[in-house]
A and B are shown apart, each in its own frame.
Chain A
C-alpha cells in the first residue's frame, strides 16, 4: 500500500486526526490521550495571562512530552469580530512562532455558530498577513468555496454545534463540500463518537478535528485510540469506494445448486 499523507499548505501530516487539548479530567489524561490519538496537531486557545500567579506553560508541557512530534494549532475561539480574531491570531503567532491559525469567528455565544461575514473578512486579512488559515465554518458549500477562493488552506465545516456530540447532522452537505472543495476539508465540531469520525472520512473529509468527544468520554485515552482507528478506517473505506446501495436483498451465496430443489 502506498502512503496516504495529508498535506496542508505544504506541510505533511502523518495523522488525519487533529485533537483539542481542553476539558480533560487533568493534564496527565490530556497528554496520554494526545499520545494515544496519534495526532500531530493539537489545538490551543489564546487567553489573557493571569497576573497573580505564573503557572506552568502549556507549550512547555507539550514540548517536554512530545518534542516536535505534535505541532500546535492555535485558535481564535470566542472571537466575535474579524478585528478580535485577527489580533488574536497575530498574538498567537508572536507567542508560539506558529503562523497556522484555526480561525473561529462566532456570531452567537450560545450556539457558537460562525459569523460568515466576519469570518470571510478575517480570512482575507490573515491570508494577506501571511497566515495559513483554517477556518471553522458552516456546512455550506458556498461559504466553503468563498473561503477557499480567499486563500484558506483548508476549510473546516461543522458537523453539529461545538461540544454537542450530535454527529454529522447533514452528511450530504459535507459530502458535497468534499466533492467540490479545491482545498482539504476538515470536519470540525459535532463529533460524538468513533463512528462519527469514520463517517466524516468516508464522506471524503481529509481530516477530523475533535475535542469534547475524547475529553468528556468516560475513558478519554481509550476514546482517543478509538478515534485514531476510526479515522484510519474511514479513510480506508473512502479510498476503497463503498458498494452501491440497493433497496432490496441481493444474495451473496450462489443461487445454483441449492439443496432440495
Chain B
C-alpha cells in the first residue's frame, strides 16, 4: 500500500489498512481507557476501529486526557 497519512499532525507512510491496525501497531487496542480517535474530523468510536478503513491523505487524531485547568 502506498501513500501517506497524517497522524497527529505528522505525515507518515500509510502501512495499515484500518484504524485498528494502525493503533495496535502503537500498542493501543479497542477498550484502552481514555483514548479516542477522530478520522478526518469525525470521531470513530472504538467499536468501529476495525471496520474503518484508512486511505492515503487521511488525517487521524489520537487523543487522551491530560492534566488541565
Contact = CB atoms under 8 A, between A and B. Distances in A.
Interface residues of B, number: 25
A95 interface: yes
Interface string A11-22: 000000000111
Contact of B34 (A24, A58, A77): A58
Given A48-B61, A94-B46, A20 B68 contact: yes
Contacts of B65: 44-47, 57-59, 72, 74, 92, 95-96
Contacts of B66: 44-47, 58
Which secondary structure characterizes the binding site on chain A? mixed
B21 interface: no
Contacts of A39: none
Contacts, number: 106
Contacts of B31: none
A43 B69 contact: yes
Contact of A94 (B9, B28, B36, B67): B36
Interface in A72-86: 72, 74-75, 77, 83
Interface of A: 20-24, 30, 43-49, 51, 54, 57-60, 72, 74-75, 77, 83, 87-88, 90-96, 162-163, 211-212
Interface of B: 7-9, 26-28, 33-38, 41, 43, 45-46, 61-69
9 contacts: A45-B65, A45-B69, A47-B65, A74-B65, A91-B37, A91-B63, A95-B35, A95-B63, A163-B69
